[in-house]
Amino acid sequence: MIIGSGPAGLTAAVYSARASLAPLLIEGVEAGGQLMLTTEVENYPGFIDGIIGPDLMDRMRKQAARFGTEYMSGNVTELDFSTRPFSIATGESTILADAIILATGAQAKMLGVPGERRLLGHGVSTCATCDGFFFREREIVVVGGGDSAMEEALFLTKFGSKVTVVHRRDHLRASKIMQERAFANPKLEFIWNAKVQEIVGDTTVKGLRFEDSRTGVTSELAAEGVFVAIGHTPNTKLFEGKLELTGGYIDVEPNTTRTSVAGVFAAGDVVDSHYRQAITAAGMGCMAAIDAERMLSDVPLIETAW
C-alpha cells in the first residue's frame, strides 16, 4: 500500500506495480501533492519545453495505472503498525497490507493573507529552486527570517534585479553563517518589523502591502515575485507515536527508506526537509518500492487484502 499521490507516491507505484506487487495507492483530497499548486515545471528531466505541474502528475498517475496500480480516494483515519499485516482505516473500509510506503508529503506554511492563494503559481511561490528562473531581472520579495528564507533570498539574487527580505521582527532567526552571507550580499535588502497584509495583483503579482508593526503605518512594495519562506509542515500527524520522527519528519535509516517499523517505508518530502524537489521525491519513491520489494521477497505474503 502506498499512501500519498505526489511524485514520491506515484513513482513508488510505478516501480512496485512493475514488480508485480499489486499496489493500492490511497490519495487524499489534495491528490497530486504540491505540484498541483504550481504552473510551469521546467526542471523535471525529460520535458524539454517544461510541463504544467498538474499535467505532470496526471501523466505519473496514468503511468502507474498502466502497470496495474489501483487507486482509492479517502483520508486515512487510523493506522495499526503493531502487527503484520498492517491495517489502515479510511473511514468506511479497513485495508490490510504487507508493506506500506508513506509518501504523504509536506506543506509549505502560508501567510494566510488575501491574494496569496489566488496568485500562487502566478507570482507567488514557495520554492526558489523551482521558480527563481521565471523572475530574471524582476523585483522579488522573500518573506521570512529563518534559514530557508535566507537560502531562498541568496539564491534569488542570481535572478532578480532586486531582492527584498520582508521579516516580521527586527532580527533574523537564521543561523549566524546564513545571516552573515545575507548581510554581505549587496543585492539583498531588508524590511524589518513588516507584517504582510496582502499580496497585490489581479492575475499576476504586482506587489505586497505590509504594516510596520511599530508605527502601524501601511506601505506597498512593488514586486513581481513573492516567495513565501516561513517553513514547512510535514504531513505526519497520523504517524505520531507510531514511528520515530525528528522535527515532525519521518526518520529513515541512512541511504534507505526504512522507517523505525520493519515493513513501513517512507519517501519524499515527508522525510526530506532539505532538497524538497519533485525529482528527489520521485527518486525516493523508487527507492521505497525497491526496499519494499526486497523485504517482501524475504517474507511470506498475506492473502490478497482488497
Q: Which C-beta is closer to ligand NAP: that of 97 or that of 252? A: 252
Q: Is 272 one of the binding residues for ligand NAP (CB under 6 A)? A: no
Q: Which of 7, 144, 234, 268 binds ligand NAP (CB under 6 A)?
A: 144
Q: Which of 116, 151, 224, 272 binds ligand NAP (CB under 6 A)?
A: 151
Q: How many residues bind ligand NAP (CB under 6 A)?
A: 16
Which neighbouring-strand residues pair with 2? Answer: 25, 101
**Residue 250 Cβ vs ligand NAP, minimum distance, rounded to whole Å:** 16
- The active-site residue, picked from 49, 80, 98, 131, is 131
Q: Which C-beta is closer to ligand NAP: that of 70 or that of 147? A: 147
Strand, coil or helix: what is 117?
coil
Q: How is residue 259 written as a grid cell?
A: 522507517
**Residue 39 Cβ vs ligand NAP, minimum distance, rounded to whole Å:** 23
Q: Which of 125, 148, 257, 277 binds ligand NAP (CB under 6 A)?
A: 148
Which neighbouring-strand residues pair with 51? Answer: 41
- Residues 269/234, Cβ–Cβ less than 8 Å: yes
DSSP assignment string, 135-182: GTTSEEEEE--SHHHHHHHHHHTTT-SEEEEE-SSSS--S-HHHHHHH
286 is catalytic: no
298 is catalytic: no
Site string for ligand NAP, 73-102 (x = CB under 6 A): ------------------------------
Q: Is 169 one of the binding residues for ligand NAP (CB under 6 A)? A: yes
Q: Which C-beta is closer to ligand NAP: that of 60 or that of 149? A: 149
Which neighbouring-strand residues pair with 108? Answer: 232
Residues 219-238 that bind ligand NAP (CB under 6 A): 230-231
Strand, coil or helix: what is 84?
coil
131 is catalytic: yes
- State the Cα angle at 261 between 257 and 264, rounded to 5°: 50
Which one-letter DSSP state was computed for residue 48?
Answer: T
Q: Which C-beta is closer to ligand NAP: that of 47 or that of 192? A: 192
Rg of the Cα atoms in the chain: 21
CA distances from 102 to 25, 73, 98, 207 (A): 10, 15, 13, 38
* Footprint on this chain of ligand NAP (rule: CB under 6 A): 109, 111, 144-149, 151, 168-169, 173, 175, 230-231, 273
| Residue positions annotated with a catalytic role | 127, 130-131
